[in-house]
Structure 1
Amino acid sequence: MSEPITHPVAGPLAGPLAGVVADVLLADVPEAVIGEVIAELLPAEGPQALTDDSVEAVAAITELVEAATRQVFAPDPLADPVAALTSPTPTPQPTGPAAAAAARANVDIRPVDTHVDVAAAVSVLDGVFAPGAGNHFYPPSLLRNLLAAGAPVLLAWDGGAPVGVVLALPGWTANGQPLVQSGPLAVLPTARGRGVSAALKLAQRAWALDRGVTEIRWTFDAMAAVNANLNLRRLGATVEAFLPGYEGLRDADSPTPLPYDRLLVAWHLTGEPATPADDDTELVWAVAATDGLPVLDPAWTVAPAALVAVPTDISALRRNAPAAASAWQHAVGGVLQEALASGWRAGWDPRGAYRLTAPTH
């Protein structure tokens, strides 16, 4: 058995109860999130509802820790859910490209399967998508329901700290073939730039292949250069469609008045990944940057290939120059929508632009 933690627990249980928790909390439980989980399990009155009797307090906290570290109902969608809950089997560690990517990123990627893991996943999502918002981007109850549906929710750990998460749901294509519909992927700013996102996606790929699923789909912000580079160039996903205004109406206080456009991509897990050509023959910049604003060249429609520039950091532009961000979205979205509707293929060029290739007739 692991040695108990001897340092105090931070968060909602800091104070008189911290020592009690430290006495019963095992060292392999990340203390950064355990306090949040236990607080959620306490009565509405909070920690003060616990008795002052030390023996009873230890017993109560011990029970709470056990509940927090208990496995969430997370059946494999291709397995017996009752057996998965009552007799869980260890999840095999990813091998091949997934394991190599995790090693390069210096993270351990594991499925979410306890209440502590759920809290860790929520904390990462909040830190990326809702910092300081005062509410959860994905509440714990929603993640638990996703897990109950057999969803693969994968966490990247850097030692005892959660630094990345990717969500997905098992589903089916229009013709009834199984697929994985990938959802939000989040990596904390302190862990970026070392390949954690790619490691999470490759772990997701391994999960799908282990279950005979050969396609993963997801959407991403068409203006996000970092995401486009990861999805199209590094992973080799294929752009299927342009989805204007996919997220619906923006909030009234959004820095940009436009709904974000999305690209739908399909990641085919068998065969060779798509690799964009780097030939510059008759290449036209359909959208280029001049003094920070987009400039259109209508000649792209008769060229065999074209580049579509996007801002390096669209999030910063939306915060600091919303009018410019909207101009970029109009220009880039207009070209992508027209090109993809006409059968052009879209990839990502290392110069920081979409590369469009005209259809061959």
Structure 2
Amino acid sequence: MSEPVTVPLAEIVADVLPADVPEAVIGEVIAELLLAESPRVLADDPVEAVAALTELVEAATRQVFAPDPLADPVAALTHPTLPPEPADPVAAAAARAGVDIRPVDTHVDVAAAVSVLDGVFAPGAGHHFYPPSLLRNLLAAGAPVLLAWDGETPVGVVLALVGWTANGQPMVQSGPMAVLPTARGRGVSIALKLAQRAWAIERGVTEIRWTFDAMAAVNANLNLCRLGATVEAFLPGYEGLRDAASPIPLPYDRLLVAWHLTGTPAGPADGDAEPVWAVVSADGLPVLDPTWTLAPAALVALPADISALRRDDPAAASAWQHAVGGVLQEALASGWRAGWDPVGAYRLTAPDR
């Protein structure tokens, strides 16, 4: 017969009890649990015994502080209650990002929004990216302009206009979104977009649209994967040329996406289809496989940092933009669906696949 556990039960329970929960409070519940679970708890292996007792103490703590005093403690152990989803996802996202999302209202708010936009899109330019007068006109027209505050410091902003879809339904056309570099990586963009979504839903709007740089991997991941927007079209040269005076001016190619706020949109990609690489990186340059159109799915690589590439190697940036833009434009015009793959590339799925 195996030797019983030599560590006193009281010492084991004391070691695993939460520091702020008195032993006497949950002692009776632990005793009830031990009656039901003693064959598993009194194991030959002291390590297993401690692990089992830890589960029992946690289950007992849940039972004592459960809203239902008649709940079954053994069921609480075997089927622990999951924490409820936050009632307000906007507040939860803002809390995770460490910001407070508020609509732009006063002249101080307008100045704060202008400062964030200038800091992201026109640093050192000597002029405003969006002049205060334009923002005030947007506000006068009822447009949602939302600011993210970190304490007393504005760190993010998103603009939008209210309009109508082709069939006359109200929609929100989201404009520039800016987050200062010091606040990136915290989820401020997610919090701003969820606040924008809540604003739209409260007013009966079911669709938000916007465009983003088709070459920006970070933006593609945010919009297509984390937010779940749907790619509608590829728009070559949508905003003209960037650096038009440079030897290699690059067009502002954009992807138009729609964020459907009701229902569950179909996934943009077929997870079972084996993709081929339509565009892949080789020595920092794109390599195109023209046979991608014959595959059920295709992956389109992007450079890791297109902004740095445009600044440091415009010729390479131009090559990437030509290759990626050509594939996206052909695919979307032919009815392919576009999403974002976890490998860090666009994933294209052929029609009727």
User: What are the residue-to-residue correspondences of 1:1-361 with 2, within 5 Å?
Assistant: 96-253=88-245, 256-277=248-269, 279=271, 281-360=273-352
Deviation of residue 251 (structure 1)?
Answer: 3.9
Deviation at 1:282, TM superposition (A): 2.6
The residue type equivalent to 1:260 in the other structure is Y
Query: How many correspondences in the alignment?
Result: 268
What's the offset of the Cα at 1:351? 1.4
CA deviation after TM superposition for structure 1 residue 97, in Å:
1.8
TM-score by length of 1: 0.72
Post-superposition shift, 1:186? 0.2
Question: Equivalents in 2 of 1:209, 1:327: separation in Å?
Answer: 41
Q: For the residues of structure 2 that align with 1:333 and 1:249, how far apart are their CA atoms? A: 15
The separation in 2 between residues aligned to 1:233 and 1:157, in whole angstroms, is 25
Say if 1:337 and 1:277 are closer, same or farther in 2 by CA, change over 3 A: closer
Give the Å deviation of 1:194. 0.8
Partner Cα distance (1:291, 1:194) in 2: 32
- Show CA shifts across 1:174-232 (max 9, x none): 11100000000000000000100011000000000000001000000100101100000
> Deviation digits for residues 95-128 of structure 1, max 9, x if unmatched?
6221111111110000000000000000000000
- The one-letter code of the counterpart of 2:258 is A
Q: Which runs of 4+ in 1 moved over 6 A?
A: none
Question: 1:354 is matched by which residue type in structure 2?
Answer: Y
| Deviation sequence 1:220-267 (CA, Å, 0-9, x none) | 010010110000000000000000110113343458512110000000
Q: Which stretches in structure 1 are left out of the alignment for 5+ residues?
A: 1-93
AA at the equivalent of 2:184: R
Alpha carbons 2:114, 2:132 under 8 Å: kept: yes
Q: Does the CA contact (< 8 Å) of 2:233 and 2:257 recur in 1?
A: yes
Within 1, Cα distance between the matches of 2:284 and 2:220? 20
CA distances 1:276-296 after superposition (whole Å, capped 9, x unpaired) = 557364310000000000000
SS of equivalent to 2:276:
strand
Equivalent residue letter for 2:326: G
Secondary structure of the equivalent of 2:250? coil
Specify the code of the residue in structure 1 equivalent to 2:299.
Answer: L
Structure 2-normalised TM-score?
0.73
What residue identity is the alignment partner of 1:347?
A: G
Structure 2 CA distance for aligned equivalents of residues 348 and 255 of structure 1: 32
Question: How far apart, CA to CA, are the structure 2 residues paired with 1:187 and 1:214?
Answer: 25
Of 305-314 and 242-251, deviating more is 242-251
- Give the distance between the partners of 2:215 and 2:269, measured in 1 at CA: 21
Whether the 8 Å CA contact 1:294–1:327 is kept in 2: the answer is yes
- Cα distance in 2 for partners of 1:277, 1:354 equals 10
Letter in 2 for 1:101: A
Inter-partner Cα distance in structure 2 for 1:252 and 1:337: 23
In structure 2, distance between residues paired with 1:280 and 1:356: 13
Name the counterpart of 2:30.
none
Worse-superposed segment, 208-217 or 249-258: 249-258
Say whether the 8 Å CA contact 1:147–1:153 is kept in structure 2: yes
Deviation (angstroms), 1:166: 0.2
SS at the partner of 1:176?
coil
CA distance in structure 2 between the partners assigned to 1:95 and 1:140 by the alignment? 35
Higher CA-based Rg: 2
- Given that 2:97 and 2:186 are in contact with CA atoms closer than 8 Å, whether structure 1 keeps it comes out as yes
Which amino acid in structure 1 is aligned with residue 280 of structure 2?
A: A
Supply the distance in 1 between the matched residues of 2:96 and 2:270 (Cα, whole angstroms). 27
Q: Does structure 2 conserve the Cα–Cα contact (< 8 Å) formed by 1:233 and 1:275? A: no
Q: Which letter maps to 1:155?
A: L
Structure 2 residue ranges without an equivalent (≥5) = 1-85
State the 1:272 CA deviation: 2.1
Instruction: Report if the CA contact (8 A) 2:110-2:135 is conserved.
Output: yes
Q: Amino acid of the residue matched to residue 224 of structure 1?
A: A
